[in-house]
Amino acid sequence: MKQRTRFSRTVVGGAALSLMLSLSGCGAGSDAADGDTIHVLVYGDAANKVEKELVATFNETSKVKAVLDTIPGADYQAKLQTIINSKQAPDVFFNWGGGSIKPFVDAGLLLPLDPFIAKDPGLKAKFLPSVFNSAVVDGTSYGIPMRGTQPVLLFNNGKVLKDAGVEPPETWGDLLAAVEALKADGVTPIALGGGDRWPTLMWFEYLYDRIAGPELFRKALDGDREAWASPDSRKALGKIKELVDAGAFGTNYDSVKFTDQGSPTLLATGKAAFELMGSWEYSTQQDAHPDFAKSDLGYSAFPSVEGGKGDRANLVGNTNNFYSVLKKTKHPQAVAEFLKLMYSDQFVKAQLGIGNLPTTTNTERFLDTAASPEFAKFQYDMVKAAPAFQLSWDQAYPQSAATPMYQALQQFFNGSMDEDAFIEAMRALPAS
């Protein structure tokens, strides 16, 4: 009996305590009446160093102070979605352009930046057009590039290529020949982190571009679902099948991931010869396999496809990240001033210093100061010369499309879905 009383007392006490805790938790979120600040929300990672510097520079001269808020990487999009239409919404926020801001534009939350640009043409003219355009929604500008560009390149292990007597491929035919030669050498020709699914997507993006040109995807994104059933689309799918069936990726690629270092290690240790990956492969290898990155890591543009409509200079990938502005910001003038810093020399130098490649026109002058000047120049020249730079499909489509898109890509790639079913799945995606 005694014990029972003591037990209930503990329970009651515990419940009261947790009630108090949860109540005080609610209080902490309330606003601390900050009239003269703008909140800048960014994706939390190593690049925040530069953003902090720029905010400090801005605050030196501005009366309205900027406050930098960060959300740890993986949760960024979900958290943003929940706060963007609430009192806690920031004034300026980080995004990927394209489909990542489309729902906010549709909900009337974002401030068109064209008036800013009219006052300061530099906000548009100082950026590479192929990059700037991926944050243009329905002809209106909504984003200013604010980090580095990340085109997708075909990386290789130079030593493995040499041993097999293979050169980085210029054409699709070269690539198929290289696959045969490398297989004969007992090497997996291409490392692929299929478990992450977005690395698989890169192969679709490039083959569709090279065969059908960039227009096919644009049409599909704009709502012309029949584009997926066009002869060019079928031809691209045929090429993907051809490569998979040739054993270019081995058989267990769906169990390999890029994110847990699986596929980069295959490339670095010479178990695989190529990997199609965003430019971050370079810094990934520098971190994990510095010797390999220094001596044997090679890179080239994606090969052309004979008879295809796409230019070999076309790129796919993450064009850049962008700052967008909320309509309800109280200090549009201060925000405009803040955005101007994104093409300043200080910004460019700081971004290059941490290994990012900015996409401003003045970047060229500072390329020698980059962590790896040769690689930075190669990328910058490619991005500058690219007739088209397609934003990754999973970013270009609205977010609700990503999951079904990944499922279809993976299933077509590993053969559990045929061409017609794949086309059907892509047609069913919610376009813009």
Partner 1 sequence: MTRTATPSAADGTFDKADSPGIGAGRPGFLWAAPAAVFFALFAIVPLIMVAVLSFARWDGLSSPEFAGLDNWKLLFDDPVMIKSLWLSVLLTVLGVLVQTPLSILLGVWAAGHQRNRAVLSAIYFVPMLLSVAAVSVLWRAVLDPNFGVPAQATWLFGDGNLFGTQAGAIGVLVFVSTWQFTPLHTLIYQGAARAVPQVLYQAAQIDGAGTVRQFVHITLPQLRNSIITSMILMVVGGLTTFDTVLILTQGGPGSDTTISAYYMYQKAFKSFDYGSASAIALLLVLVSTLISLIVVRLSGYDKMRSTMEGL
Q: Decide whether 315 or 425 has the Cβ nearer to partner 1.
A: 425
Q: How far apart are CA 43 and CA 334, in angstroms?
A: 21
CA dihedral 359, 367, 46, 291 (to 10 degrees): 130
Of the candidate residues 417, 419, 431, 432, the single one contacting partner 1 (CB under 8 A): 417
Q: How far apart are CA 311 and CA 309, in angstroms?
A: 7
Q: Decide whether 274 or 347 has the Cβ nearer to partner 1.
A: 274
Binding map of partner 1 across residues 380-409, x = CB under 8 A, - = no contact? -------------------xxxxx--xxx-
Q: What letter represents residue 399's amino acid?
A: Q
Q: Count of residues binding partner 1 (CB under 8 A)?
A: 46
Tell me how far apart the terminal alpha carbons of the chain are, to the nearest angstrom.
Answer: 67
Q: Decide whether 255 or 369 has the Cβ nearer to partner 1.
A: 255
Cα 168 from chain centroid?
25
Q: Decide whether 135 or 401 has the Cβ nearer to partner 1.
A: 401
Residue 147 exposed, middle or buried by CB count within 10 Å (0-12, 13-18, 19+):
buried
Of the candidate residues 94, 96, 104, 338, the single one contacting partner 1 (CB under 8 A): 104
Q: How far is the CB of 190 from partner 1 (least distance, A)?
A: 14
236 to 295, contacts with partner 1 by CB under 8 A?
A: 250-256, 260, 262, 265-266, 271
Q: Is the Cβ–Cβ distance between 411 and 417 less than 8 Å?
A: yes
Q: How far is the CB of 32 from partner 1 (least distance, A)?
A: 25
Of the candidate residues 124, 197, 331, 349, the single one contacting partner 1 (CB under 8 A): 197
Strand partners, 322: 95, 145
User: Which residue shows structure tokens 């059933």?
Assistant: 229
Q: Is the Cβ–Cβ distance between 367 and 373 less than 8 Å?
A: yes
Q: How far apart are CA 420 and CA 413, in angstroms?
A: 13
Of the candidate residues 88, 133, 414, 432, the single one contacting partner 1 (CB under 8 A): 414
Q: Nearest-CA neighbor of 105 among 258, 309, 326?
A: 326
Q: Look at the chain and count its residues.
A: 432
Binding map of partner 1 across residues 51-90, x = CB under 8 A, - = no contact? ---------------------------x--xx-xx-----
Q: Decide whether 15 or 56 has the Cβ nearer to partner 1.
A: 15
Q: Decide whether 5 or 30 has the Cβ nearer to partner 1.
A: 5
The angle at the Cα of 407, spanning 404 to 409, to the nearest 5 degrees, equals 110
Q: Decide whether 10 or 346 has the Cβ nearer to partner 1.
A: 10
Residues that bind partner 1 (CB under 8 A): 1, 4, 8, 11-12, 15-16, 18-19, 78, 81-82, 84-85, 103-104, 107, 109, 194-195, 197, 250-256, 260, 262, 265-266, 271, 399-403, 406-408, 410-411, 414, 416-417
